[in-house]
Amino acid sequence: MAKSKTATPAPVASTPAIAPVSIPNPVRDTGAPSAKSALSNLAALGGTKKVTAAAKKPSHPRLPLTPDARDKVKAWIPAKILFDHFEEYKKNVEGEMDKLVKDLFYRGWWDNKSFPDNPTLNIEDDNGRADMEAMFVFQERFRVQIPEGDDPEASMVNLLVQVGLSHPNATKLVSQELVIAEDKSINLTALLQGKKVGKTWVNPSPIEKSAAEKLISLITGDSTEPLNEAEIHALIVTTDFKVTVKPGFLERAHTYCDTFDQLKGLMELVFHPVVSHRGAKFGISEPLEEKNQRMIGEAAAILGVALGVESDSDEE
């Protein structure tokens, strides 16, 4: 985020004195100091996020505002509320648009048996002139989740078969396009503070906390005391599997499919490629004044939808 420049305010002839504000001290949880301090030490190395205890919402004192500060607060509050309305509207419309546009993209991909270049989305006005435009960007970035199972390759094959691929094609895709590797990790937070098992919260045992604290001390260099055998066995080692998709997969993905629905399911249900929209343009062929007036009308219509109020154009 870019830093904003602070302008030097003009001198004011007389400014009313601001009474000192008494801000209450935050409520802090003093329990389990060793666990929290250990996590804090590791957080300094970027290994985990510092854990803070939840506190009851305090009653906040009013801050007396100068005229300038009051003006800025008065401007920010409606801007924040309007932004939230527009952001929610954009999210909903974008989701609906994505489904339709991606369907058209997949259809062109399948019909041509070739991965398409990223297309533009174009709208013309009633006179056939360019009016709106945006870029649809289909990225070679994926979010693949391996189903649970003892054999990750077999689990991936079964998932692809469920999507509709034939077993030979699913097996070929996994062996030729995916690299599946173990990813082991130790959940220090669970060892220090406990974990949820089903619907029950399980507190850590003394040996688990001791193991985690010693391990953090070794990592941070605060201690060289090794873990004993019992502490080593107490460590909770989590094994996940990381999937890497080989470069150029999108150029070959359709070759593993026999139907359009298989290609669509492969993308939407298994690989979840990242899709974005860029370069939105509005009122391309209109003079600036007319474009601005239209934009104001669009803003009023969107806000009317958000607030459940009909705009003047709807009433007409």
Task: Give every residue of the chain whose pLDDT is below 50, as ranges.
Answer: 1-35, 38-39, 41-48, 316
Residues found in the chain: 316
Q: What is the pLDDT of residue 310?
A: 65
Cα–Cα distance between 134 and 120 in angstroms, integer?
6
pLDDT of residue 50: 53
Could you please report the per-residue DSSP string of 141-207? -----PPSSS-HHHHHHHHHHHHT--HHHHHHHHHHHEEEEEEEEE-HHHHHH-EEETTEEEPPPHH
Query: Residue 13: what pLDDT?
Result: 42
Q: Enter the DSSP assignment of 161.
A: H
Cα separation, 60 vs 26, whole angstroms: 11
Q: What is the pLDDT of residue 168?
A: 96
Domain boundaries, the chain: 68-139+274-306, 188-235
- Residue 89: the pLDDT is 92
Contact 260, 197 (CB under 8 A): no
pLDDT in tens, 106-165: 999 999 999 999 999 999 999 999 999 999 999 999 999 888 877 889 999 999 999 999
pLDDT of res. 238:
67
Q: What is residue 147's predicted lDDT score, i.e. its pLDDT?
A: 85
pLDDT the model gives residue 272? 94
Q: What are phi and psi of 115, to 5 degrees?
A: -70, 125
In the DSSP assignment, the letter for residue 146 is P
Q: What is the pTM of this model?
A: 0.64
The angle at the Cα of 307, spanning 304 to 312, to the nearest 5 degrees, equals 25
- Residue pair 116/102 in contact (Cβ under 8 Å)? The answer is no
Q: What pLDDT shows up at residue 150? A: 77
pLDDT, one tens digit per residue, over 286-309 is 999 999 999 999 999 988 876 777
Write down the pLDDT at residue 52: 56
